[in-house]
């Protein structure tokens, strides 16, 4: 059941009406059932998997809280880590490592006996394992108390708006909301619907349109010149942003209608003026997860410069691997780590003034954007050799006009939509248009009319629904 489908809209309406109509004590169990129903639309068998991960982390959290023995606490935490990461490893990474070992053995002239396993990747596995795992770690650290109610904890793990592709929540931000009494609030309903409409517009009008061109070019990059590959890569940068942020917007809007607050996941990332700034704006919930559970435990920046650099590399490479079991994602993460270090060196050499001029800000945005775009090549390409071909062709063969595909009219619409998106984002950054429920300078009637215009845009320019890119992670 895709967010960008009528089935989801009907599902959300039914769940909302039923949720607010039923007595308080039934609401959380009802959300649990609804969320499992939502997940089982993909593959009912994986409900057992998500149930196992839920139980393991809940049990670990309870046991950690109930024992005074540091050894036992550590053992229970390890149990949760092994089960959660074991599930993630088996379903997502087994074949990647297996095939990598096979290649290495065969290169060395040795026989490798472990067969390839036809494993189906459960949708959203990276998201729900991380969300579940954060709970026993928080209990172990004393950042959150144990949740005695399994139903409540299970609902926290599978809460349908953010189950498949985040935002990745923590017990402290979401779990406790299941204890609150939620009342239907017409203002929250209105703002949630507006955010859902904006998300749908970004998905079906911008991301899916750009995806048609990007898929065509990246399917056979050897057939195209540098300017075409460059255009496809720019398009991909906006496609993945619109696709992923659309999912987050629809998730946050859906939860808001039901009375829940999810974390902000994107904050105008292509207006970032540095790589550090970009990572404060892009996939914020994942960045925050890695910061809390990987970067800080490694020592964060309270270590020597060399150790800090090591920490940065570890976090970004792990983040790359989290996205996908392929070397292209590893390079994507490593590139961002390299950018981070380069930026650190640059800041040492050229201290940033307190009030930089407008052109310095613009230059920072452009440099950051293009660094991110370069890394996206590795994220999107089918293989490292394809990515390398794209990069080298862009750098060496950019004389001709790009191949705009079968319709120049469609290409013109695509470019106009990117300009429109960036225009909206500039207005959001200036506070004219609301960004995640922040105040807007436009009156409510104008905002309602604006949402109606977006629906018109979806009707006229939307293309056939396709799955969200981040579902594969």
Asked if 293 and 129 touch (Cβ cutoff 8 Å), the reply is no
Q: Which two tokens stand for residue 225?
A: 């010149």
Element (H, E) at 253: helix 226-257
Q: Which of 144, 283, 323, 336 is catalytic?
A: 323
- Tell which one of 54, 126, 263, 451 touches other proteins (CB under 8 A): 451
Closer residue to other proteins, CB minimum distance, 185 or 397: 185
Asked if 13 and 34 touch (Cβ cutoff 8 Å), the reply is no
Of 154-162, 186-194, 218-226, 358-366, which part binds other proteins (CB under 8 A)?
186-194
Q: Closest approach of Cβ 449 to other proteins, in Å?
A: 4
Residue 186 touches other proteins, criterion: CB under 8 A? yes
Of 187-195, 293-301, 415-423, 425-433, which part binds other proteins (CB under 8 A)?
187-195
Residue 413 touches other proteins, criterion: CB under 8 A? yes
Residue 190 touches other proteins, criterion: CB under 8 A? yes
Residue 362 touches other proteins, criterion: CB under 8 A? no
For the stretch 253-264, what's the b/e string if a residue is b when 16 or more beta carbons lie within 10 angstroms of its beta carbon?
bbbbbbbbebbb
Q: Closest approach of Cβ 198 to other proteins, in Å?
A: 14
Residue 14 touches other proteins, criterion: CB under 8 A? no
Which residues does 105 contact at the CB level (< 8 Å), separation at least 6? 111, 112
Report CA-CA distances (Å) from 106 to 93, 113, 118, 157, 383: 20, 11, 21, 42, 20
Of 151-159, 165-173, 387-395, 403-411, which part binds other proteins (CB under 8 A)?
403-411
Q: Which two tokens stand for residue 108?
A: 């060395």
Residue 136 DSSP label: H
Active site residue 323: yes
Considering only CA atoms, which of 168, 376, 368 is closest in space to residue 278? Answer: 368
Residue 444 touches other proteins, criterion: CB under 8 A? yes
Of 168-176, 299-307, 313-321, 454-462, which part binds other proteins (CB under 8 A)?
454-462
Considering only CA atoms, which of 415, 412, 434, 414 is closest in space to residue 424? Answer: 434
Q: Closest approach of Cβ 452 to other proteins, in Å?
A: 4
Q: Closest approach of Cβ 450 to other proteins, in Å?
A: 8
Residue 363 touches other proteins, criterion: CB under 8 A? no
Which of the residues are catalytic? 323
């Amino acid at each position: 059941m895709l967010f960008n489908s009528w089935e989801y809209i009907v599902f959300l309406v039914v769940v909302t009406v039923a949720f607010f109509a039923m007595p308080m004590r039934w609401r959380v169990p009802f959300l649990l059932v609804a969320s499992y129903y939502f997940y089982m639309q993909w593959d009912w068998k994986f409900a057992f998997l998500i149930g196992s991960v839920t139980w393991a982390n809940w049990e670990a959290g309870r046991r950690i809280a109930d024992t005074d023995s540091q050894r036992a606490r550590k053992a229970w935490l390890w149990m949760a880590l092994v089960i959660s990461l074991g599930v993630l490893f088996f379903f997502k990474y087994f074949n990647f490592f297996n095939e990598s070992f096979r290649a290495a053995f065969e290169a060395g002239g040795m026989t490798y006996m472990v067969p390839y396993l036809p494993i189906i990747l459960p949708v959203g596995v990276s998201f729900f394992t991380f969300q579940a795992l954060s709970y026993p770690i928080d209990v172990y650290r004393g950042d959150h108390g144990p949740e005695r109610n399994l139903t409540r904890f299970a609902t926290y793990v599978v809460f349908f708006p953010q189950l498949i592709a985040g935002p990745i929540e923590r017990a402290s931000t979401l779990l406790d909301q299941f204890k609150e009494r939620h009342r239907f609030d017409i203002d929250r309903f209105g703002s949630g619907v507006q955010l859902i409409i904006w998300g749908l517009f970004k998905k079906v009008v911008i991301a899916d349109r750009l995806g048609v061109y990007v898929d065509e070019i990246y399917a056979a990059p050897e057939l195209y010149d540098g300017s075409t590959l460059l255009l496809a890569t720019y398009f991909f940068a906006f496609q993945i942003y619109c696709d992923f942020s659309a999912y987050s917007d629809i998730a946050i809007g859906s939860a808001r209608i039901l009375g829940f607050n999810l974390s902000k996941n994107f904050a105008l990332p292509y207006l970032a003026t540095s790589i550090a700034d970009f990572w404060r704006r892009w996939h914020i919930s994942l960045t925050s997860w890695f910061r809390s559970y990987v970067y800080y435990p490694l020592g964060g920046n309270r270590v020597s410069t060399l150790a800090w650099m090591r920490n940065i590399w570890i976090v970004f490479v792990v983040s790359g691997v989290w996205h996908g079991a392929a070397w292209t994602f590893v390079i994507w993460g490593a590139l961002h780590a390299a950018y981070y270090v380069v930026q650190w060196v640059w800041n040492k050499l050229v201290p940033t003034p307190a009030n930089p001029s407008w052109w310095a800000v613009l230059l920072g945005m452009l440099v950051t954007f293009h660094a991110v775009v370069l890394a996206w090549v590795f994220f999107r390409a089918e293989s490292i050799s394809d990515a390398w071909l794209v990069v080298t062709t862009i750098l060496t063969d950019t004389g001709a006009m790009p191949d705009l595909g079968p319709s120049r009219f469609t290409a013109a619409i695509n470019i106009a939509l990117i300009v429109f998106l960036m225009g909206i984002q500039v207005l959001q950054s200036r506070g004219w248009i609301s960004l995640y429920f922040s105040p807007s300078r436009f009156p409510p009637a104008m905002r309602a009319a604006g949402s109606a215009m977006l629906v018109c845009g979806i009707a006229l320019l939307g293309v056939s629904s396709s799955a969200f890119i981040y579902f594969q992670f």
